[in-house]
């Protein structure tokens, strides 16, 4: 009897996980999706440059779209970065801190040289505008992939 109950519970868990995967949240596209990102992502992301750097603004502005489960590698920006969330659900984590859940309208202020990553939740597409501030300070430093263990550590 006890074994049967446990088996039924296991089956219910399996069914609910299956449903979750079928209910992937689609994001609303506002800015162009752009091209597939070539490197430094786990999973597939797309990037469209909206404002390229010049001497006047010293910023780069770009639209980034992550498929569910996709995230970029651990990295830091020498001049900092701002994220403006436009659609879907995402994660943001700084090294040594808990994962923060992101929703449309959220703003993330990332100070220069703070090691972090950003990406989609397991069941939602995710789109943010990225703004590289003080762009003349140089290129992003990459530190390698976010492990599944790190990615799965989100707690509500
Ligand atoms: Mn970043």
Domains belonging to the chain, first-starting first, are: 24-151 (2.60.120.10)
Compute, in angstroms, the gap from residue 15 CA to the centroid of ligand 1. Answer: 36
Q: What is the mean pLDDT of each run of 10 residues along the chain (156 residues)?
A: 45 38 81 95 98 89 98 98 98 98 98 98 98 96 98 96
Q: Residue 113: its pLDDT value, please?
A: 98
Among 107, 58, 54, 111, residue whose Cα is nearest residue 80: 111
Q: Residue 101: its pLDDT value, please?
A: 98
Compute, in angstroms, the gap from residue 19 CA to the centroid of ligand 1. Answer: 32
Compute, in angstroms, the gap from residue 131 CA to the centroid of ligand 1. Answer: 9
- Listing from the earlier edge strand, what are the strands of the sheet with 35-36? 35-36, 45-51, 60-66, 126-132, 81-88, 107-110
Compute, in angstroms, the gap from residue 56 CA to the centroid of ligand 1. Answer: 22
What pTM was computed for the model?
0.84
Q: What is the overall mean pLDDT for the chain? A: 89
Q: Residue 110: its pLDDT value, please?
A: 98
Q: Residue 54: its pLDDT value, please?
A: 77
Among 50, 60, 34, 43, residue whose Cα is nearest residue 120: 43
pLDDT in tens, 94-137: 999 999 999 999 999 999 999 999 999 999 999 999 999 999 99
How many angstroms separate the CA atoms of 63 and 115, rounded? Answer: 21
Q: Residue 8: its pLDDT value, please?
A: 41
Compute, in angstroms, the gap from residue 20 CA to the centroid of ligand 1. Answer: 28
């Amino acid at each position: 009897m006890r074994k049967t109950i446990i088996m039924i519970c296991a089956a219910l868990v399996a069914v609910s996980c299956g449903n979750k995967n079928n209910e992937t949240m689609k994001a609303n596209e506002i800015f162009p999706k752009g091209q597939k990102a070539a490197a430094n992502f786990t999973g597939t992301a797309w990037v469209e440059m909206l404002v390229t750097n010049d001497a006047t603004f010293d910023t780069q502005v770009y639209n980034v779209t992550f498929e569910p489960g996709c995230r970029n590698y651990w990295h830091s920006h020498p001049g900092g970065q701002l994220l403006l969330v436009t659609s879907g659900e995402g994660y943001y984590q700084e090294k040594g801190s808990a994962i923060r859940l992101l929703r449309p309208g959220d703003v993330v202020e990332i100070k220069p040289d703070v090691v972090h990553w950003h990406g989609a939740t397991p069941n939602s597409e995710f789109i943010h505008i990225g703004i590289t501030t003080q762009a003349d300070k140089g290129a992003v430093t990459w530190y390698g992939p976010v492990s599944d263990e790190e990615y799965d550590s989100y707690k509500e």
